[in-house]
Amino acid sequence: MQSISLTVTGVAEMGSTEHGTVSAGQDLRLIGPDDLAVPLDCSLHYSCADPYAVRMSLDAGREEPVVWFFSRGLLAAALRVRAGLGDVRAWPSRAPGTAAGTGGCEQILNIELGPPGGCARFQASAVGIREFLHRTYRLVPPGQELGFVDLDAELEELLDGGAA
C-alpha cells in the first residue's frame, strides 16, 4: 500500500485552557501521489478528563471528521526520538530543504497513523506541537495524570458498557 504524507503549513489558532481543555488548530497539506497537495484542517484537543490522550481531528471533506487518539507522552517523546508502536508512530526530523547548522532549519514532527505499509503520514511543526504540549502541562503536569482520573467512574462506565 502507498503512504500518504501531510505537512503542517502553520498554526491556525490556539484555543483556551478554560474548563480543563486545550485546543489548537493546524493548517495541513495532504501530499498524495505525484506530489499533489490538498489542504486539510486539523485540530488537536486535550482534556484533563482524559489526561493521557490527545485527540486529532482531520476535516477531510466528509460529513464527520477523521479522528485519531494517541498518547500525550508519545508526542512528547517523539519530539526527541522515534516513538510509538502499532498504528501510531512519530519521530523528529528537519523540514525538507533545511540542513543542520543553517539558520533557517525548521524542526518537524512526523506522525504516521495506520498499519505499517498502509498509513497516512503527517508532518507538523515541532514548535507548534511543543507549544500545545506545554499548554497541556499547565492543566495536568507530566506524571500527575492519575490524579485526574476518576477510577471508580471509569470502571463503572466500562462495566455498564460491557452489559449492553
Predicted TM-score (pTM) of the model is: 0.77
Q: Distances from the Cα of 128 to the Cαs of 4, 43, 75, 110, 125, in angstroms?
A: 21, 12, 12, 13, 5
Print the SS3 string covering 52-69: CEEEEEEECCCCCCEEEE
Q: In the block, which residue shows the cell 526530523?
A: 93
DSSP annotation of 49 reads T
Q: What is the pLDDT of residue 103?
A: 55
Mean pLDDT (the chain, rounded) = 79
Give me the average pLDDT of each 10-residue run along the chain (164 residues): 36 54 80 64 92 90 88 96 92 72 72 79 85 95 86 82 59
Q: Is the dihedral of CA 154, 51, 125, 41 positive or negative?
A: positive
How high is the pLDDT of residue 156?
86
> Cβ(54)–Cβ(44) under 8 Å?
yes
Number of domains the chain is built from: 1
By CB atoms closer than 10 A (0-12, 13-18, 19+), residue 22 is buried
pLDDT at position 8: 38
Adjacent-strand bridge partners of 37: 31
Tell me which residue range forms the domain holding 51: 4-163
- The Cα 91–Cα 79 span in angstroms is 6
| C-alpha cell of residue 27 | 493548517
Q: Find the CATH number of the domain harbouring 147.
A: 2.30.31.20
Specify which residues 110 forms β-bridges with: 91, 123
Q: Are 142 and 148 in contact (CB under 8 A)?
A: no
